[in-house]
Amino acid sequence: MLTTTEPPPDEICVGGIWRRGGGAVLSPYDPATGERITTVTGADTTDVDEAAAAAEHAAADPRWRGLLPHERARVLHRIADAVEREAATLAALQTRDTGKTLTETAALVASAVGTFRYTAAALETSDDALTTPRGPHLTMTVQEPYGVVGAITPWNSPIASDAQKLAPALAAGNAVLLKPAAWTPLVALALGRIVTQVLDAAGLPPGLLSVLPGDGRTVGDAVVRDPRVGMVSFTGGTDTGRGIAAIAAQKLMPVSLELGGKSPTIVFPDADLEHTVAGVLYGIFSSSGQSCVAGSRVFVAREIYDEVLDALDSATRALRVGPGTDPRTQVAPLVHHRHRDAVAAMVEQARADGARVVCGGRVPNDPDLAGGAYYLPTILDGLGPDAAICRQEVFGPVAVVLPFDGEDDLVAQANSTVYGLAAGIWTADHRRAWRVARRVLAGTVWINTYKQFSIATPFGGMGESGLGTEKGRPGIRTYSRTRSVFWGMAEEPLAWAGWSGGGR
Ligand code: NAD
């Protein structure tokens, strides 16, 4: 088990065996300081091939294939217990690897534990269905695993997104090839070590889990293309997801895609200002804006526009920017200097397009933060909904505030991007909240709150924010196929044109 926050050895997991990968060397570093944490030799396509072969064997092995749902649930509970025992270490490791605050990484580890527990409970209480017969037979539908599932995750919330795929995929009886992002491989590897130890201790076949960090275009692509992989669950950018869907179409393979967003947060004149300001800021600046559901477009009713903008401005200036290890920090560094520079470039483009920088819009001056990938929480206004920064995902701490005049104008502006992941509505009028919630295109709508999640509540995007569902009971179904069985109960042979039995 993990006992220190020291980086793990240079090993990846290929077919249940921990060893050095054959691919490019990854250099995860602490974005708060720029210091390298360790090096990890990533996977190559030969490793993927070996992992897929082992996964195919493991998925078909009677020791796994033959487990009843409540027995698989017991394995998931043991994983949850083991992750929980290592919670502090995992949170500290993730803070080093991603820069996130310790408060957030502790919450992400707790979310991973909750995911394994919830999935175990859902599995143990799931029912195969005996459907109503429409003839002289019993009809039943059963859920069966795909066999080998590819799980590809991004860098922004590693342990939670890894668990969100791993738990239901194992629950459904699959073997998993987990491909974490190249910038942040450490937590997926640490989680993988815990999971493989539990699987080994339970006497289950090796190869049920491989952890294959590396470049997406080689390692991720090999996972998607491998003929033994029967389903891929992907979380990441929309363009990457589109490419994966194209390969899946050739293979006629199901995919689940959790993609990008440009989510609107909507403030009506009757909103409670204190709750609204706290919620809007949390929605965009927590995780330094590196969240698929970040409320990056803030629509404010014109009659309260100046008042709300002033309140957002002064509250944003009061946010504490610093390292994730400082318990007072609210806005931690971005994941990587390259990503910070991309965010800065998008703000510069917005400025050139006519944006007014209300606050932020630059790297902090504080010499203590000089080595880190910091960017100040930024508010822009003065742009229309068609400006590039109102349509493209920034994935950083940048909010654009826009006025609206009435519900129809609001809905037209809110729905003017290709995305449909999330939306927030701030109002005291529950009828209006319900009306607007149904008109705004978003897989998840928060009313008088923002960025709240529950493993029990299904999550998925509309439009170019993705397809398929994660979380909740439907999220477990994502990892299995439905099969039907007819059991003949007729006393007589089937009546068949021109032949009615006879002979024997
Ligand atoms: P990304 O698409 O660049 O990478 C995501 C993962 O896919 C990584 O593991 C990467 O190595 C891999 N990958 C890249 N190219 C690949 C290819 N051709 N074939 C197979 N795998 C490939 O995304 P990112 O920059 O790591 O993450 C940020 C994006 O993720 C944002 O767009 C964000 O909105 C999205 N995201 C979505 C959700 C959601 O639930 N909807 C959650 C978190 C992040």
Residue 496's pLDDT band (cuts 50, 70, 90): confident
Structure confidence at residue 103 (pLDDT) = 96
Mean residue pLDDT of the chain comes to 95
**Above 50 in pLDDT, residue 258?**
yes
H or E element, residue 13: strand 12-14
- Does CATH place domain 13-259+465-485 in 3.20.20.70? no
* Residues 193/2, Cβ–Cβ less than 8 Å: yes
Amino acid letter, residue 479: Y
Task: Establish whether residue 322 lines the binding site of ligand 1, counting it when its CB lies within 6 angstroms of any ligand atom.
Answer: no
Torsion (CA) 135, 138, 141, 145 in degrees, nearest 10 = -130
What residue spans define the domains of the chain? 13-259+465-485, 264-447
Share of the chain above pLDDT 70, in %: 97
* Residue among 296, 387, 281, 395 nearest 338 (CA): 395
Task: Establish whether residue 235 lines the binding site of ligand 1, counting it when its CB lies within 6 angstroms of any ligand atom.
Answer: yes
**Above 80 in pLDDT, residue 303?**
yes
Tell which CATH classification among 3.20.20.150, 3.40.50.300, 3.30.420.40, 3.40.309.10 matches the domain 264-447: 3.40.309.10
Kindly state the DSSP code that residue 282 receives in the 8-state scheme. H
Structure confidence at residue 214 (pLDDT) = 97
Give the residue whose CA is nearest to atom 12 of ligand 1: 216
35 is catalytic: no
**Above 90 in pLDDT, residue 7?**
no
Residue 4's pLDDT band (cuts 50, 70, 90): very low
CA distance 172 to 166: 10
pLDDT digits (tens, 9 = 90+) for 79-116: 999 999 999 999 999 999 999 999 999 999 999 999 99
390 is catalytic: no
Residue 499's pLDDT band (cuts 50, 70, 90): low
Write the DSSP string, 298-320: EEEEGGGHHHHHHHHHHHHHTSP
Give the residue whose CA is nearest to atom 26 of ligand 1: 154
Give the residue whose CA is nearest to atom 30 of ligand 1: 236
Distance between Cα 431 and ligand 1 center (Å): 37
Burial 268-289 (b: 16+ CB within 10 A, else e): beebeeeebbebbbbbbbbbbb
CA distance 271 to 428: 6
Write the DSSP string, 81-131: HHHHHTHHHHHHHHHHHH---HHHHHHHHHHHHHHHHHHHHHHHT---EEE
Identify the active-site residue in 292, 393, 464, 470. Answer: 292
Task: Establish whether residue 152 lines the binding site of ligand 1, counting it when its CB lies within 6 angstroms of any ligand atom.
Answer: yes
* Residue among 447, 479, 440, 482 nearest 462 (CA): 440
Task: List beta partners, residue 436.
Answer: none
**Above 90 in pLDDT, residue 261?**
yes
Index of the ligand 1 atom closest to the CA of residue 244: 19
Q: Show the tokens assigned to 231.
A: 């389903």
Write the DSSP string, 421-487: SEEEEE-S-HHHHHHHHHHS--SEEEES--S---TTS-B--SGGGEES-BSHHHHHHTTEEEEEEEE
* Residues 184/99, Cβ–Cβ less than 8 Å: no
- Strands, DSSP E only, in 146-301? 148-152, 175-179, 209-211, 229-235, 255-258, 264-267, 297-301
Mutating to test ligand 1, I would choose from 40, 155, 234, 292 the residue with most ligand atoms within 8 A of its C-beta, which is 292
Task: List beta partners, residue 447.
Answer: 425
Task: Establish whether residue 217 lines the binding site of ligand 1, counting it when its CB lies within 6 angstroms of any ligand atom.
Answer: yes
* pTM of the complete model beyond 0.85: yes
Q: Which residues contact 499 (CB under 8 A, 6 or more apart)?
A: none
Identify the active-site residue in 50, 258, 464, 470. Answer: 258
H or E element, residue 52: helix 45-60
Index of the ligand 1 atom closest to the CA of residue 393: 32
